[in-house]
Amino acid sequence: KWRLGWSDDKKTFCCKAHKLGCATKDEGTTAAAAAAATTTTEEFDCQAGLAKWRLGWSAAKKAFCCKAHKLGCATEEEGTTAAA
């Protein structure tokens, strides 16, 4: 289910952090494996999954993206997290 249900951002994070959701030799290269192979200076890609951030982003990603890029920040009106 993870191949179709997880966003590329989640696959990348889980592959890097937990060695889950990584491509196998039989599957070829997935976006998660390709992203994991590249170096990045940021903890999260705040553009990845932005359209569905409310349900798709982890609390850690919301916190990072809010602080670093003003995306996924809590608003007083909603009482939840909202893209700025």
Q: What is the pLDDT of residues 33-49, one digit of tens each?
A: 555 555 557 888 898 88
The pair of structure tokens assigned to 40 is 């990045």
Give the model's pLDDT for residue 57: 92
The predicted structure's pLDDT at residue 42: 81
Of 48, 46, 50, 51, nearest to 63 by C-alpha is: 46
Report if pTM > 0.85. Answer: no
pLDDT in tens, 23-81: 765 554 555 555 555 555 788 889 888 888 888 999 999 999 999 999 988 775 544 44
Q: In which element (H, E) is residue 9 found?
A: helix 8-18
- Nearest CA to 36 among 21, 51, 50? 21
Query: CB within 8 A of 74, min separation 6: which ones?
Result: 66, 80, 81, 82
Residue scoring higher pLDDT (3 or 45): 45
